[in-house]
Amino acid sequence: MTESNFSARLSSLLHFIYPDVDSHILGSQVVEAFWPEDTHRRRQPRKPGNNLWTQNDAVLITYGDSLIDGYHKPLDLMHDFLLNHMKGVVNGVHILPFFPFTSDDGFAVTDYRKVNPQLGEWADITRIGSEFHLMSDLVLNHVSSQGVWFNAYRQGQKPYDKFFFEADPSDDVSMVTRPRTTPLLQEVETAMGTRHVWCTFSHDQIDLDFRNPDVLLEIVRIIRLHIDMGVRIIRLDAVAFLWKELGTNCIHLPQTHAVIQLMRLLMDYATETVILLTETNVPKAENLSYFGRRNEAHVVYNFPLPPLTLHAMMSGSARYLNDWQRTMPPAPLGCAYLNFTASHDGIGMRPAEGLLPPPEIGQIIDTIHEIGGKVSMRSLPGGGEAPYELNCTFFEAMGRTFKGTDDLHFDRFLCSQTIPMSLEGIPAFYIHSMLATPNDLEAVERRGMNRAINRHRWDYPELQEKLADPETIHARVLAALSERLKIRAQQPGFHPNATQFTLNVDDRIFGLWRQSLDRAQSIFALHNVSDETIEIPQADLNLIADESWVDLLSGETIKAGPVEMAPYQCRWITNLV
């Protein structure tokens, strides 16, 4: 793509998004916003390929204040934890919204250009970004009702007087897809009179109106700021809801995809290597659409993985996990999946729609309730509710199966976390999974929010004391996961784009064959999701007879005969050590 092609592509996208605006003038404004004076862009775009990531890549997900001590800045404590416990284990860190905010634990941003002073300052962010691939959240669908922009909107100040999406209470919004059950419109008094603003998530989170190109330009300027501060992975939060159009479901609209394509175009020409990650907690086909034609997100979340892994471990059957994985396409060239089981939110159930039968979902919900977890609901178009997410730490969720409790909690959890390490894509781990954090029921009661159950703030001295004792569950889990991640990082067969084939063996086994890009290494990744000992006929694995095969996890040489799998055991059987 030449310089003229860049301008033509940019102009074409802007014309599609804003047909009534001069796309050439707006294009110049976009370029100025992303490449201000004294900066420049690449002459040729970065071509799609498999070189943006390797098997070394793994991400830790954390809040900036997941670790506190009442004295040091939380970002200082996080930096210390990363250096002392995560160096060589992960090389990326997703610090959840670290901006000033009013609610939703950071996702109601008051000022995108500042770091929350209760966490630290930009220098703390850039320091972490100099040692780890840093991911930040671009909360681009909405801002805080108490933020700078919305206060200016209420006062009628330009350009903010047209920054927010308005509707009339008489408008038919019955088709709108909602992740929450609160009323969609909120009445507010402004200098222009009474207005009703759109609130997809909560009344403290007011949706921006991207029909106004000034909104897009301001978001582009913010992206540039964050890149300059060391951010290299930009997570587009709640991006599926970005464009609204009355009479539609207001999710996944063509203009939304065009905005992402515009951002990808800018990243392809940026001198910095910046990856776009879309956060779209929706069923499979809709989620995969955000790869576009290799011209939208570099990376998408593998959202069906958490509920399907949860079901496999609770039921003792990998049937539905296997069925889903067999139908999953490899990521397009230059793209990858982000594999995870837990995040700061709950375990999303929408991606399980059509993959798990309702009775199986019902059993999961019953089991989560028995553990002490919560279930959050969403509104359905036309009325009614359905489960939106399960609120429980993944470690606690592994404490019980459909059969009840047993003494295999640790083994079951370790198996569940090995699965995302084995899959095609980049693995990501929530800090509370790495630390085997229990449900924080006190926080749920105190804060009146289900998601607080999985957002514990550790007293750092207390945590350090627990991690120093190798007998604590926290130290055992961190050590076991760290060891497996270090082993994984040495295997070309676990490159995020290495060949993957789902094995057809026992329903209690989730098995994958991975092959390195140069075809030199094969890995048979086997996961027994049951509490039973299983023997797999070696012929089912197609182990090449003339090769020597070793289990990377146990160090055991695989000899002729059946491969035995203990309850919840995982094996990485390879021909290349």
Q: Which two tokens stand for residue 473?
A: 């569950």
- The active-site residue, picked from 237, 268, 440, 506, is 237
- Tell me: is residue 113 an annotated ligand-binding position: no
Residues 382, 448: contact at Cβ < 8 Å?
no
Q: Is 451 annotated as a binding residue?
A: yes
The response to whether 79 counts as a known ligand-binding position is no
474 is in an annotated binding site: no
- Residue showing tokens 């669908």: 141
| Phi, psi (degrees; rounded to nearest 5) at 116 | -55, 115
Report whether 57 belongs to an annotated binding site. Answer: no
Nearest-angstrom CA–CA distance, 390 and 439: 12
204 annotated ligand-binding residue: no
236 labelled binding-site residue: yes
DSSP string, 118-166: TT--HHHHHHHHTTSEEEEEEE-SEEETTSHHHHHHHTT-TTGGGSB-B
Q: Give bridge partners of residue 94 from the DSSP assignment.
A: 61, 135
CA distance 186 to 203: 7
> Catalytic site residue 237?
yes
Q: Is 94 annotated as a binding residue?
A: no
Angle between helical axes of 3-17 and 213-228 (0-180°, round to 10)? 130
CA distance linking residue 310 with residue 398, whole number of Å: 8
Retrieve residue 375's tokens: 């279930």
Query: What span, in angstroms and rounded, lies between the C-alpha atoms of 327 and 304?
Result: 12
From residue 72, alpha-carbon distances to 124, 134, 255, 437, 455 in Å are: 12, 21, 44, 22, 20
- The Cα–Cα gap between 55 and 513 comes to 15
Q: Answer yes or no: are the C-beta atoms of 311 and 302 closer than 8 Å.
A: no
The residues annotated with a catalytic role in the active site are: 237
Task: Detail the residues annotated as belonging to a binding site.
Answer: 104, 142, 235-237, 344-345, 451
Task: Detail the residues annotated as belonging to a binding site for substrate.
Answer: 104, 142, 235-237, 344-345, 451
